[in-house]
């Protein structure tokens, strides 16, 4: 005996619920903050601290750029108490290439996750097709296997 239309709708709804649970377990990796990437790189010796000469050069460059016009006069009505700020990541040697590698690894990991998501969705669609057009027993059997099925 085959399923009635309301039973098929409920069966498909149940497949959607199981699919949603499985998809929620396959989440993307979040991008780490630059600060965490820098700390990780420094701890793994992939990123190096700047030399004193590099630090002095960056400070001199920042002081010349921030608060003064070319003629030596200050920009504003009052002298700013802040001498400017430095981007630490630009001072760390090897940071840009290490950050790129970390981001590439993250993208690769997320593309693998997308493959797993597509696999789950394809299996759910296959089960729905069997439920709508195939035998009831086969559909119930497939749903049971789908519920037990673990992503690799």
Q: What is the pLDDT of residues 24-64, one digit of tens each?
A: 888 777 777 888 889 999 999 999 999 999 989 988 888 77
Q: What is the pLDDT of residues 110-131, one digit of tens each?
A: 888 999 999 999 999 999 999 9
pLDDT of 52 reads 93
- Give the separation between CA 11 and CA 3, rounded to whole angstroms: 9
pLDDT of 151 reads 59
pTM to 2 decimals? Answer: 0.59
Comparison of pLDDT for 28 and 68, the residue scoring more: 28
pLDDT of 88 reads 87
Residue 1's Cα: distance from chain center in Å?
47
pLDDT at residue 85 greater than cutoff 70: yes
- Give the separation between CA 130 and CA 123, rounded to whole angstroms: 11
CA–CA distance from 78 to each of 39, 69, 70 (Å)? 37, 14, 17
In this structure, the number of other CB atoms found within 10 A of the CB of residue 23 comes to 15
pLDDT of 1 reads 62
Q: What are the extents of the domains in the chain?
A: 1-48+94-152, 50-91
Closest CA to 152 of 120, 111, 106, 104: 120
Q: Are 110 and 28 in contact (CB under 8 A)?
A: yes
pLDDT of 80 reads 56
């Amino acid at each position: 005996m085959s399923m009635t239309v309301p039973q098929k709708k409920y069966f498909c709804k149940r497949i959607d619920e199981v699919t949603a649970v499985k998809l929620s377990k396959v989440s993307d990796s979040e991008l780490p903050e630059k600060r965490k990437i820098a700390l990780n790189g420094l701890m793994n010796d992939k990123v190096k601290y700047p030399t004193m000469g590099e630090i002095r050069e960056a400070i001199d460059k920042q002081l010349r750029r921030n608060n003064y016009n070319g003629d030596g006069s200050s920009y504003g009505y009052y002298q700013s108490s802040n001498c400017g700020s430095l981007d630490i990541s630009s001072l760390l040697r090897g940071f840009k290439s290490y950050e790129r590698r970390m981001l590439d690894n993250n993208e690769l990991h997320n593309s693998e996750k997308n493959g797993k998501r597509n696999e789950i969705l394809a299996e759910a669609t296959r089960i729905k097709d069997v439920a709508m057009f195939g035998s009831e027993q086969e559909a119930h059997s497939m749903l049971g296997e789908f519920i037990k099925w673990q992503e690799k």
